[in-house]
Amino acid sequence: MANAVDARRRWFGLFYLLIASGMLIWGQTILKDRLHGLGFLLYWLVCFGFTGLAMLTALIDLRAVRRRTRQAQKALLERTLADIERAEGDAKDAGKRAPRK
């Protein structure tokens, strides 16, 4: 289940993605004729940086989700095995108490 850390990480990812998208749109429309030389290079490097931050945030979130899923699967397997062992123990106990014909 998602917690506050997951929500914050996803909000940061969304923020980075929105900034990169906005910069892309502005750079291709409003600022297209105004960006030249070093300004052009710096603008697109910053846009690329925000895109990279969005991707990095997504990869970190993916790793966290995988880790949480792996832990949940392990806990489920352990609980299932414990239930099976308990059921076998109950069946053996019931067999000892039941009179044989």
Residue type, 16: Y
pLDDT band at 98 (very low <50, low <70, confident <90, very high): low
Contact between 51 and 20 under an 8 Å Cβ cutoff? The reply is: yes
Say what the pLDDT of residue 94 is.
73
CB-CB neighbours of 54 under 10 Å: 20
pLDDT at 96 over 60: yes
Using alpha carbons only, what angle is made at residue 25 by residues 23 and 27, rounded to the nearest 5 degrees?
65
Dist. CA 28–CA 53, nearest whole Å? 21
Q: What is the pLDDT of residues 22-67, one digit of tens each?
A: 999 999 999 999 999 999 999 999 999 999 999 999 999 999 999 9
CB-CB neighbours of 27 under 10 Å: 17
Say what the pLDDT of residue 62 is.
96
pTM: 0.76
